[in-house]
Amino acid sequence: MNSPYEGKFNVTQRFKGSAHDGLDLVGIDSKEIHATADGKIVYAGWENPDNHYQGFGQYVVIQDSKGRMFHFGHLSEIRCKVGDTVKITDVIGIEGSTGHSTGSHCHYCVRTSLSPGTFLDINQISGIPNVEGGPYDDGYRPGQQTTPAPKDDHSKEELLQELKALYEKYS
- Tens of pLDDT, residue by residue over 53-102, are 999 999 999 999 999 999 999 999 999 999 999 999 999 999 999 999 99
Within a domain: 3: no
Quick check: 142 pLDDT over 70?
A: no
**101/107 Cα distance (integer angstroms):** 10
Within a domain: 56: yes
Q: Which residues contact 12 (CB under 8 A, 6 or more apart)?
A: 24, 25, 26, 105, 132
Q: Give me the CATH number covering residue 68.
A: 2.70.70.10
Highest mean pLDDT among 68-77, 108-117, 144-153, 154-163: 68-77
**43/51 Cα distance (integer angstroms):** 17
Within a domain: 2: no
Contacts 24+ apart (CB under 8 A), 47-54: 47/73, 47/99, 52/98, 52/99, 53/99, 53/100, 54/99, 54/100
- The number of folded domains in the chain is 1
The one-letter code for the residue type at 138 is D
* Global confidence as pTM: 0.81
Within a domain: 42: yes
Provide the 10 A C-beta neighbour count for residue 24.
22
Given pLDDT bands bounded at 50, 70 and 90, which one contains residue 153?
Answer: low
Which domain covers residue 85, as residue numbers? 8-170
Within a domain: 20: yes
Q: Supply the pLDDT for residue 133.
A: 94
Percent of the chain whose pLDDT exceeds 90: 74
Quick check: 121 pLDDT over 70?
A: yes
E strand or H helix at 9? strand 8-13
